[in-house]
């Protein structure tokens, strides 16, 4: 794998972004809720799981390919939705979508993007694209947005279910976060596009959400969404068996185990901690994905063994984007591919299907021996 000079892991790109992004954008991208305990937990909890390699297996050919909602992907790692990517690079979401397409994987566009559905569709026509959806108080506005997503060739809706309001991110309050004046929320017009360009004294994004998102959202709205679209629906933000089962019963095609990048309520479990419970509860009735805290190929391997069909990267893609746009995001994906392929080879796995649950155990397993 060819890497940018001195940048050989995802943390290298993160350190570069921390040095070069302006404070308003950097703190928005990197911050978590409250004391940021869960933010740290998302990464450190991966260290509580141990990989148990198998030896003397033919790994002369390693196949990382998988399928997600029927689409073939070249590796089980996609790009999570992250908002306002043009704060990181002028090409923003268009660059990230193109990089995902080059890598042969899924890109998820945020409702709160700085490139519109139509712009991303034109920029990356061959990329498998899903759309992350917030349901607004104005249901007609939401319905029209869904129709635009369908017309633009997106293949799934990823409904965020853990954000009736946005969590308290202290850095954004201190910075009085607002979207720079040359950018807008490109999927909208009027105040829906520009309200986040100002702050009334706190976080401009939280003020926007309180004004426009629907805090009365409930399970009936999943049924409503299914009634207005034929696209498969992924429920993003599930952390418990109970909600996973209810989501599948409501008709979700997939469940994404996620705590919103630890940006909603502090002290939620790390997503890798919640994954086994959710995967067991779903029991193959729907696909299961994970995002949050993934920083290397071994993290991906652990998530696959514990029940995820795919994992998705959020912040790491932003760090690659901030470095060199499309090329930087592609480098992030190439690094993870290299690390994951190496992990497969060294654990006796030659395909995603050859991973067995017994190959990853919690550290407590060894305490009981």
Report the percent of the chain where pLDDT is more than 90.
Answer: 92
Global pTM reads 0.97
CATH at residue 56 = 3.20.20.70
Within-domain flag for 88 = yes
Residue 157's Cβ-side half-sphere holds a number of Cα atoms within 13 Å equal to 27
Within-domain flag for 39 = yes
Mean pLDDT on 208-237: 94
Tell me, yes or no, if 89 is annotated catalytic.
no
Q: Which pLDDT score, from 0 to 100, does residue 199 have?
A: 86
Mean pLDDT on 280-296: 98
| pLDDT exceeds cutoff 80 at 360 | yes
| DSSP assignments along 271-315, one per residue | HHHHHHHHHHHHTTSSEEEEESS--SHHHHHHHHHTT-SEEEESH
Residue 3 pLDDT level (bands cut at 50, 70, 90): low
Among the listed residues 260, 323, 362, 367, the single catalytic one is 260
Residue 210 pLDDT level (bands cut at 50, 70, 90): confident
Q: Which pLDDT score, from 0 to 100, does residue 1 have?
A: 60
Q: Provide the 8-state DSSP code for 200.
A: S
- How many domains does the chain contain in total? 1
Mean pLDDT on 305-332: 98
Mean pLDDT on 339-351: 98
Domain that holds residue 108: 10-367
Within-domain flag for 304 = yes
Within-domain flag for 2 = no
| Residue keyed to tokens 């003020």 | 207
Mean pLDDT on 117-133: 98
Rounded Cα gap, residues 100 and 294, in angstroms: 17
Within-domain flag for 315 = yes
| pLDDT exceeds cutoff 90 at 235 | yes
Residue 170 near residue 214, CB atoms below 8 Å: no
């Amino acid at each position: 794998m060819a890497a940018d000079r001195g940048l050989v892991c995802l943390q290298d790109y993160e350190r570069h972004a921390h040095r070069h992004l302006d404070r308003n954008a950097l703190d928005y991208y990197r911050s978590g809720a409250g004391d940021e305990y869960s933010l740290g937990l998302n990464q450190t909890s991966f260290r509580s799981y141990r990989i148990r390699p198998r030896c003397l297996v033919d790994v002369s050919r390693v196949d990382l390919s998988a399928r997600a909602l029927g689409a073939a992907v070249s590796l089980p790692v996609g790009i999570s939705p992250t908002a306002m990517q043009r704060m990181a690079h002028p090409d923003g979401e268009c660059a990230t979508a193109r990089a995902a397409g080059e890598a042969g994987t899924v890109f998820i566009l945020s409702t709160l993007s700085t490139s519109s559905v139509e712009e991303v569709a034109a920029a990356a026509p061959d990329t498998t694209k899903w759309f992350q959806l917030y349901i607004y108080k104005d249901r007609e506005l939401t319905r029209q947005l869904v129709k635009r997503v369908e017309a633009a060739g997106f293949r799934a809706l990823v409904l965020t279910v853990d954000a009736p309001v946005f969590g308290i991110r202290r850095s954004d309050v201190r910075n009085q976060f607002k979207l720079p004046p040359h950018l807008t929320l490109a999927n909208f017009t009027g105040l829906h596009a520009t309200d986040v360009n100002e702050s009334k004294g706190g976080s401009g994004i939280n003020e926007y959400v309180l004004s426009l998102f629907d805090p009365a959202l409930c399970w009936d709205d999943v049924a409503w969404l299914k009634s207005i679209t034929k696209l498969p629906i992924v429920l993003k933000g599930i952390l418990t068996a109970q909600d996973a089962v209810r989501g599948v019963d409501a008709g979700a095609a997939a469940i994404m185990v996620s705590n919103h990048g630890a940006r909603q309520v502090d002290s939620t479990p790390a997503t890798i901690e919640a994954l086994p419970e959710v995967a067991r509860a779903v029991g193959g009735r729907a696909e299961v994905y994970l995002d949050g805290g993934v920083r290397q190929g071994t993290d991906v391997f652990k998530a696959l063994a514990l029940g995820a069909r795919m994992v998705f990267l959020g912040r790491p893609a932003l760090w690659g984007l901030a470095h060199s746009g499309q090329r930087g995001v592609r480098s992030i994906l190439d690094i993870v591919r290299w690390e994951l392929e190496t992990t497969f080879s060294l654990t006796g796995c030659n395909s995603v299907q050859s991973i067995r649950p017994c190959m990853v155990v919690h550290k407590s397993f060894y305490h009981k021996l």
